Structure 1
Amino acid sequence: MHTTLAPVVRVSRGDTSPHGTDASVAGRPLDVLGVPGEINLDYAATAPCARVAADAVAELLPWYGSVHRGAGALSRRSTLAYERARAEVGDFLGVRPDDHVVFTRNTTDALNLLARALPPGTRVVTFAGEHHANLLPWPAGTVRLPVPTSPGGAVRALDAALRELRRGPDGGAPVLVAVTGASNVTGEIWPVAELTAVAHRHAARLALDAAQLAPHAEVNLDALDVDYVAISGHKLYAPFGAGVLAGRADWLDAAPPYLAGGGATLAVGAATHDVRWATGPARHEAGTPNLLGAVALAAVCSALTRSDRAAWYAHEQALLARLRDGLAALPDVVELRTFAADGPRVGIVSFVVAGRDSAEVAAALAEEWRIGVRDGLFCAHPLARRLLTEAAARAGRDDLPPTAIRASIGLGSTAQHVDRLLTALATLTGARLTPWSG
């Protein structure tokens, strides 16, 4: 059983925008900015800026001022915009009444904040298939489970690991499970609801890295019953340097402030340690906050919330099928995957070209075809290296390169973009491309 996911924005075939999409929000197009002639297939690294995000920033800039405690009109307007952004992002994420929404720089920053907020003695369980942001922040003694071969295998492995932890000498200690919602390497969707149910059955909490999931599918804390979620604005069409950690308040209110400084305090005395710290999000948002980043992110979240997500999801899945089928038809191209080939995924595909260095292929795509993709191990080195080894064994080849290429799609992607990538790869490999018939 897989987690049911609601998709993202409506696409109209009759759009006349430069990118060929019209994801309307109350009659206003939710399109993305870009450069004519340049094909961006690197959404999983940094998604392009949505026009609504740019418009929100432009509208606020004349009023830009200090946030909180300022008496002037600029400060009052900026404070209202900042706190309204917090509420709008919270609505987008389906937070519960007692959850906190803390603005951070990105998902990495959000997960590091959560790692600093863990109660003493907390044990963390994660998988070796995580992005480095969900591998590296956790304390010594973290249990890193092997990469599973199926969603069901992930659920069973977590159940066994938590059962073993509860039997141990520290069986009563707090436990946090940290998992991804969708792989940044393969796009494969993880069984979030089922993993959360297992965690709660063993009195553990679950933190969801939704950096890759949230741009494509609904992420609702209340519906999924997850305890924490982390997202990045730059993955979510708001590349202005804001991220979010949202979730249970108790650990966050009990933890030392993530940053010590102004805005996180209620009172500071003359003695060195005479400080009363704030509770709530302010406790972990010391210093002048990224007002424009928060407002841009909220603008996109609100636009996506009001959009018809089902049609966009169908459009993206059609593009994804077109891309994967086209890659499969190229004899020297091998796709990376963790689970079964027909498993649910978002618009991310990683692959290798046998006998060709991935960096050289990516450079050729950029220079000769004006197509932007990503090459390397995608900040998920343990997973990517394992998948490269498995891909070589599955394909029966010994000439696969040690790094991969990743193509990722989203708002603004079209069938023409996918076809141009396939044509370029066919040309580079000397293959004959069969027209797609899906």
Structure 2
Amino acid sequence: MGRQGRSVAEPATPLAQIAWLVLAAMPLMLAFANRSSVLVLVIAALVAFVGAGLSQGLPVVVEHLRGIVRSPFGLLFLAFLLLALASLTWAHDRPRSAFALAEAFIPALAAIALGAALPRQPERRAVPMLMLCLALAAIEVFVELITRLAWREALGLRATYFITNKPVLALVLLYWPLVPLTKGMARRWLLLAALAGVIAVTVFTSVSGTAMCALVSAAAAFVLALVAPRTARWAVMLAVAASLLVAPLKGELASRLIPDRALDALQSLHARDRVNIWLSFGEVVAQRPLTGTGFGSSAVVVRDPVASEVAADRRTLLDVGHPHDMFLQVWAELGMIGAALVGAALVVLWRTLARLGREQHAAGLAVTAAALMIALVGHGAWQGWWIAVAGAAVLWLWARPPVGGPVVHEEGAR
């Protein structure tokens, strides 16, 4: 996120400090309330916006917002928002699509507001606070898993293992920005290694195969980026681009290339079901290739007239709620136009990553690799909790280390 006329070493006001600390509490809040990330992000945005308005004046904050909107990412975000709004005119269930749009764009707009209102350099307690909250969240989830969610059952709360998946995925995404943010901190590598170990134990104790794949992919991308930055960037970004391009054909490719024995062996992960779901939504793309069926329509596409155009043996699986592939969901709901905007965003992401310093570049690629794995096999694309966590990860990546005095721009990764 770009910003004009503001020093990266500007000290945080009291309300900005509070906003950073609220943001740091997100993983721990998710461990207890697994959809709370949106609320955390919105509260942090409100606190930061009020603080910036009081300390700098509202016109200055508005100018910061305008700078973000005029940036390449900002323009693409605005175009995507306008496309999503326009798609309500051809969506079959407009109230449901409007609700999905609000769920997705409220946390996205909150993250943008934070980018405009927060000083880029958090105060000194924010990063240790984030480390502590990640550790406590990992420990809390681990205890829940090994005690079979005992405290939730004792309180009469919903007690299914899947409720731990959201905080576990947040752990995987929010850990990596700590690497550049802890620069200058005493015993940083020991602390980072210990935290990584705690998170890894929780992830591999969980029932989230997505989180396991995301953690392994992120770690591999991070290590490769430290050794060979350009190779890592090419590998990760080509994987993301290929995933976007082949998404409409993913079901056909998987059904032809993956042996039945492999699908049977992975049945505990519902592998065959996922392939069939990809086939069903791939047919939706084929019927509405340019514009899709409307933002957020995947949840009710089985009631859309397009369902009658899908082969009868594949129609039932349109009722699963989403395609279990975020790229395929973009194609199905917003068609080629939406996919083109996502592709343009990937180009901007490539250029942005290339300009980062070594550790920040490696952390950014790790977050990108983790997000890619989550996008390929995870939940619906527009779930608010997920967009809030991703927005928080971007904000922490965008921040400068709060220790060691003013920070200078590093040479871009090679």
TM-score range normalised by the length of the shorter chain? under 0.3
Structure with more of its chain in strand, by fraction: 1
State TM-score, norm by structure 1: 0.25
Rg: which structure is higher? Answer: 1
State TM-score, norm by structure 2: 0.26
Structure with more of its chain in helix, by fraction: 2
